[in-house]
């Protein structure tokens, strides 16, 4: 009975969970959430869970804000749908496009809407190909992405993702036009180097790959400003300026996937302000509506847009829900709340330093080999041996164990492989943050005990 049981054993349920070990689920069941408010979600047993992940980088302003409901309802009554295929647009989408471009650097002047981050990445990569075709360089077909990245679940977005299980899933993934380089993961790839030196070395992997593939064949490089996938992999300050220089040198478009970083995750409105990135195309999603409705935006720089407008004919690309009025209205209201309540600025000033101190306090935990963060995204990497940095065997599922221990204590604390990730909502209070870290520590202590690890 979905109304009364907190844990359901959804054995051959009608609803297939995304990203789930469906065989495993038959043993463990699935929590059924019924209500959310602020940073909390309640299940059918009345158990309160702190969403330490902001629903994976979505729910930045927290659950249950009535203003967003009102904005959605009013828009639905005024104009519930707009047929964009019939050369019709509506005021709310135009206003949102204007708002977004006013918040972004000068050259990012054009917006294309979709419903999801995966679709935004499809748009970005199709657009990059289209650009090079129109520029008379149809050979520039290849995309370079990074290992451990996640860019979505459609064929191209899954191909861009550098997560091995997605690539073993069959379906010709990764598509043959996608190549991967190592990501800026200093703990694993830059031991013994100082951060500045490592940033330059890691960016150099892009140059090596471009030279290997031939610059005339490479359309674009795509990356998150800081990589949420793979466990909060935060680049050193020297990384992005080098990446930028290399893309310019070889005339390779730079695509920034800000689906998670956008709208405050790094402590700045967009990751590109944190790292000084000037992308040709950028993707926004999740936080654009704080997860209240599905919407994503592909923001296109003048260089690509001018070519599309001046030289392009019809570009056969669009979705039934491109620029959906209700989603755009909710996005505008979400941005108004972020702006007027100074949620991002306040989080950056007060919460980010506390978060950094909290994450770093785990460095001496017997299970933690690396404690890293940027803004309100943190990763605690569990290792078997702190000296050699050896990981636990995959089969040990130590991260999943820790995640389950945290959930028992009322915290959503995600295992990203062996790295425990935290991405609390931007509206988390200092007291709530202290509670998050206290539960995280209890979960790690219980995990250490279970695996026989002592200080």
Residues near ligand PMP (CB under 6 A):
56, 116-118, 121, 150-152, 224, 228-229, 257, 259-260, 285
In angstroms, what is the minimal distance from the CB of 313 to ligand PMP? 29
In angstroms, what is the minimal distance from the CB of 219 to ligand PMP? 18
Closer to ligand PMP by Cβ: residue 293 or 351 = 293
Strands 296-301 and 368-374 come out as: unpaired
In angstroms, what is the minimal distance from the CB of 331 to ligand PMP? 14
Closer to ligand PMP by Cβ: residue 228 or 266 = 228
Side-by-side strand order, sheet with 178-181: 108-114, 296-301, 281-284, 253-257, 218-223, 142-146, 178-181
In angstroms, what is the minimal distance from the CB of 287 to ligand PMP? 11
Closer to ligand PMP by Cβ: residue 56 or 144 = 56
In angstroms, what is the minimal distance from the CB of 16 to ligand PMP? 15
CA dist., res. 222 & res. 131, Å (int): 15
Q: Which of 203, 165, 178, 166 is nearest to 122 (CA)?
A: 178
In angstroms, what is the minimal distance from the CB of 373 to ligand PMP? 17
Question: Tokens standing for 85?
Answer: 């295929």
Question: Tokens standing for 151?
Answer: 């860019």
Closer to ligand PMP by Cβ: residue 179 or 286 = 286
In angstroms, what is the minimal distance from the CB of 206 to ligand PMP? 18
Closer to ligand PMP by Cβ: residue 267 or 287 = 287
In angstroms, what is the minimal distance from the CB of 384 to ligand PMP? 28
Q: Which of 330, 316, 404 is nearest to 130 (CA)?
A: 316
In angstroms, what is the minimal distance from the CB of 343 to ligand PMP? 21
Residue nearest to ligand PMP (CB): 117
Question: Tokens standing for 99?
Answer: 């708002």
Find the largest Cα–Cα distance for the chain.
Answer: 66
Closer to ligand PMP by Cβ: residue 29 or 318 = 318
For 374-383, letters b (16+ CB in 10 Å) and e give bbbbbbbbbb
Strands 218-223 and 281-284 come out as: unpaired
Contact status, residue 377 vs residue 231, Cβ threshold 8 Å:
no
**Phi and psi dihedrals of 237, rounded to 5?**
-60, -25
Closer to ligand PMP by Cβ: residue 118 or 428 = 118
CA dist., res. 161 & res. 153, Å (int): 8
Q: Which of 377, 367, 348 is nearest to 232 (CA)?
A: 377
Closer to ligand PMP by Cβ: residue 44 or 121 = 121
Sign (positive/negative) of CA torsion 186, 187, 191, 196?
Answer: positive
Question: Tokens standing for 237?
Answer: 């300050």
For 51-80, letters b (16+ CB in 10 Å) and e give bbbbbbbbbbbbbebeebeebbeebeeeee
Looking at residue 175, the DSSP 8-state letter turns out to be: P
Closer to ligand PMP by Cβ: residue 122 or 207 = 122
């Amino acid at each position: 009975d979905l109304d009364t049981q907190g844990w359901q054993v959804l054995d051959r349920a009608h609803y297939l969970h995304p990203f789930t070990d469906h065989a495993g689920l038959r043993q463990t069941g699935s929590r059924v959430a019924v209500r959310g408010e602020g940073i909390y979600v309640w299940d059918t047993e009345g158990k309160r869970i702190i969403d330490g992940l902001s629903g994976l980088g979505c729910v930045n302003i927290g659950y249950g804000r009535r203003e967003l409901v009102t904005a959605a309802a009013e828009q639905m009554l005024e104009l519930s749908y707009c047929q964009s295929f019939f050369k019709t647009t509506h005021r709310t989408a135009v206003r949102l496009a204007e708002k977004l471009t006013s918040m972004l650097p000068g050259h990012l002047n054009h917006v294309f809407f979709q419903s999801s981050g995966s679709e935004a990445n499809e748009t970005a990569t199709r657009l990059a190909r289209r650009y090079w075709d129109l520029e008379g360089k149809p050979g520039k077909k290849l995309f370079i992405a990074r290992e451990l990245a996640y860019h979505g679940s459609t064929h191209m977005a899954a191909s861009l993702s550098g997560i091995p299980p997605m690539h073993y899933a069959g379906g010709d993934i990764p598509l043959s036009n996608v190549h991967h380089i190592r990501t800026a993961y200093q703990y694993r790839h830059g031991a013994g180097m100082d951060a500045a030196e490592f940033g330059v070395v890691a960016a150099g992997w892009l140059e090596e790959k471009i030279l290997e593939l031939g610059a005339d064949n490479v359309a674009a490089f795509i990356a998150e400003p800081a990589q949420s996938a793979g466990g909060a992999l935060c680049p050193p300050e020297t990384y992005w300026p080098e990446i930028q220089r290399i893309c310019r040198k070889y005339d390779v478009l730079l695509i920034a996937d800000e689906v998670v970083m956008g709208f405050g995750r790094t402590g700045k409105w967009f990751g590109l302000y944190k790292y000084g990135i000037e992308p040709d195309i950028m993707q926004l999603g999740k936080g654009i509506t704080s997860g209240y409705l599905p919407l994503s935006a592909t923001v296109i720089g003048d260089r690509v847009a001018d070519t599309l407008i001046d030289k392009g004919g019809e570009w056969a690309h669009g979705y039934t829900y491109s620029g959906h009025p209700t989603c755009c209205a909710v996005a505008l209201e979400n941005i108004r709340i972020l702006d007027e309540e100074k949620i991002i600025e306040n989080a950056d000033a007060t919460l980010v330093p506390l978060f950094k101190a909290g994450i770093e306090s785990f460095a001496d935990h017997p299970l933690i080999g690396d404690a890293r963060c940027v803004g309100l995204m943190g990763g605690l990497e569990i290792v078997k041996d702190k000296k050699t940095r050896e990981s636990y065997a995959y089969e040990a599922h130590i991260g999943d164990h820790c995640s389950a221990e945290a959930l028992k204590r009322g915290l959503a604390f995600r295992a990203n492989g062996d790295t425990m990730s935290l991405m609390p909502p931007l509206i988390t209070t200092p007291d709530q943050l202290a509670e998050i870290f206290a539960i995280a520590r209890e979960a790690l202590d219980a995990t250490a005990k279970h695996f026989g690890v002592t200080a």
